[in-house]
A and B are shown apart, each in its own frame.
Chain A
Amino acid sequence: MTKLRAAVTGTGCVSALGMGQYTLWENLQRGRVSCGPVPEWLFPTELPYPVFTAPPEPLSGAGRDLLKDILPDLPADSVSRTLLLAISAVAEAIGKADLSISYLRKTRVGIALGTTVGSTFNNEAYYLAWRQGLHPNPGPVHNYLGGNLASALHGILGTRGPSAVITNACASGTDAIGLARGWIAHGQCELAIAGGADELSRIAYNGFVSLQLTDSSPCKPFDQKRNGLNLGEGAGIVIIESQDRALRRGACPIGWARGYGSASDAWHPTAPHPEGRGLKCAFGKAISDAGVHVQDIALINAHGTGTRANDLAEAKALAALLPDPDEVPIVSTKGLTGHTLGAAGAIEAIFTLLALQHGQASGTVGCSVPDPVLSVKPLPEGQTSLLRNKLGISQSLAFGGGNSVLILEAA
């Protein structure tokens, strides 16, 4: 698609693994799993399905500073947990990219964020009162209207430029990064803040439970005994700018978004195409977009939710796509973060870059014995794989049949 290199100059991330990249990488290495019953401070439930929670306080120090400097009078309850998680990740990313607020305000900045819960009106108390004919005070509606993640972030940062909130379910984070990369290539903006964020919500939690997609134990992606997913929450943000621009301002790329592809299964509202048809198509598009060969791929961060259907279909697709599946470590990191919905694609893109940077992939936490029925053999827990180069893939499969693939290269 383009000869313009999309450099990643900063990343920021919040999840059950903690806040901030160094905490994250340490915990990733240690395989630290913090998955447990839904805590009371999140929402009340009788259901036993465990979740991966981000820190109870969603705002990091740097995030707090960002808000404090810009909007000291912002009422605490008017901003959603999803937006606060996003702010923490954004603050970290722009810090890492060595960007000041004043610089951002002089630049055309695009903001592309994926979310699921973060785009819905989920104030139950308001709806309950409305149902009873009580005509409740429309404060929650006001907050909902002010809660579009990208618009709100532009407002908080004081920036101008393209703005998009992608609601493509589980592929949203991957799509947001792909979209932002396209903006840079087309000159729609000079710099982009891209990624995704989602908080755990009682509604989404019950929704996935009703679909019988959740495991009542910690999830086991690709394992023969896998029995479903665990929901998680968090945010992942990457800063993307053209290589030339980054170098001109003295920034050091930590990697590049080399390619992106997306395609639809056109199959079923909730189940993936059994052969992974859409994933195969998206994968091919991404490879072609990046101008690389499949054989060059050193690591695949799979969607790997731990549901019987997803892992089976995804493995089938990968077996058809990879000339030699045994040569490429395939991992899922959802055993460490849960399925963070709109944030997943972005958080996992960051994990992919981190692994490529360090030249090493850790095995799939939760996967003790890879299911022999799967068409490929993912890297199981406890094993590590040295990576033969710096090129990798992060992919997502979504409700509604969307499939999105990002090709990333670490510096």
Chain B
Amino acid sequence: MDQLKQQLKEMIVQDLNLPDVKPEDIDDKAPLFEEGLGLDSLDAVELVVLLQKHFGVQIANMDEGKEAFASIESLAQFVDRRR
């Protein structure tokens, strides 16, 4: 699970273009969207594609995504269940 969280953090930093953020500085429980990391709706749809590409995980719609995307922790749990 820790390894998955690390992978997710690296993926987010690299593929969502956050060069000023270090993966290790992302708090597992901190919000990803709006506050915290400050991602937006465009990052959300990009994240859907990235999860599909890197983990084979499909997200049917953004309502489903909303809960999963709350934090690294919730994202890791979501991916772990689905892959």
- Check if A211 is an interface residue, CB within 8 A of chain B: yes
Q: Identify which of A92-100, A165-173, A266-274 touches chain B.
A: A266-274
Please indicate the chain B residues that have their CB under 8 angstroms from the CB of A268 in the complex: 40-42
CA distance A210 to B42 in the complex (A): 10
| Residues 18 to 55 of chain B near chain A (Cβ within 8 Å) | 40-42, 45, 48-49
Please indicate the chain B residues that have their CB under 8 angstroms from the CB of A211 in the complex: 42, 45
The residue in chain A whose Cβ has the minimal distance to the Cβ of B61 is A212
Q: Could you say which interface size class chain A belongs to?
A: under 10
Majority SS of interface residues in chain A? Answer: loop
| CB contacts between A and B, total, < 8 Å | 16
The answer to whether A212 touches B40 (Cβ under 8 A) is no
The answer to whether B41 touches A270 (Cβ under 8 A) is yes
| Residues 193 to 250 of chain A near chain B (Cβ within 8 Å) | 210-212
Q: Report the minimum CB–CB distance from A230 to chain B (whole Å).
A: 17
The residue in chain A whose Cβ has the minimal distance to the Cβ of B46 is A210
The residue in chain A whose Cβ has the minimal distance to the Cβ of B65 is A212
Q: Could you say which interface size class chain B belongs to?
A: under 10
CA distance A271 to B40 in the complex (A): 10
Q: Which of B40, B41, B48, B61: most chain A CB closer than 10 A? A: B41
- Check if B70 is an interface residue, CB within 8 A of chain A: no
The answer to whether B42 touches A269 (Cβ under 8 A) is yes
The residue in chain B whose Cβ has the minimal distance to the Cβ of A308 is B62
Q: Report the minimum CB–CB distance from A126 to chain B (whole Å).
A: 26
CA distance A270 to B43 in the complex (A): 11
Please indicate the chain A residues that have their CB under 8 angstroms from the CB of B40 in the complex: 268
The answer to whether B41 touches A210 (Cβ under 8 A) is no
CA distance A281 to B56 in the complex (A): 44
The answer to whether B49 touches A271 (Cβ under 8 A) is no
Q: Report the minimum CB–CB distance from B54 to chain A (whole Å).
A: 16
Q: Report the minimum CB–CB distance from A147 to chain B (whole Å).
A: 30
Q: Report the minimum CB–CB distance from A380 to chain B (whole Å).
A: 25
The answer to whether A212 touches B42 (Cβ under 8 A) is no
Chain A window 253-269, contacts with chain B (Cβ cutoff 8 Å), 1 for yes, 0 for no: 00000000000000011
Please indicate the chain B residues that have their CB under 8 angstroms from the CB of A269 in the complex: 42
Q: Which of B45, B48, B49: most chain A CB closer than 10 A? A: B45
6 more CB-based (< 8 A) A-B contacts, given A211-B42, A269-B42, A270-B42: A210-B45, A211-B45, A212-B48, A268-B42, A271-B41, A271-B42
Which residues in B have some Cβ–Cβ distance to A below 8 Å?
40-42, 45, 48-49, 61-62
16 A-B residue pairs with CB within 8 Å: A210-B45, A210-B49, A211-B42, A211-B45, A212-B45, A212-B48, A212-B61, A212-B62, A268-B40, A268-B41, A268-B42, A269-B42, A270-B41, A270-B42, A271-B41, A271-B42
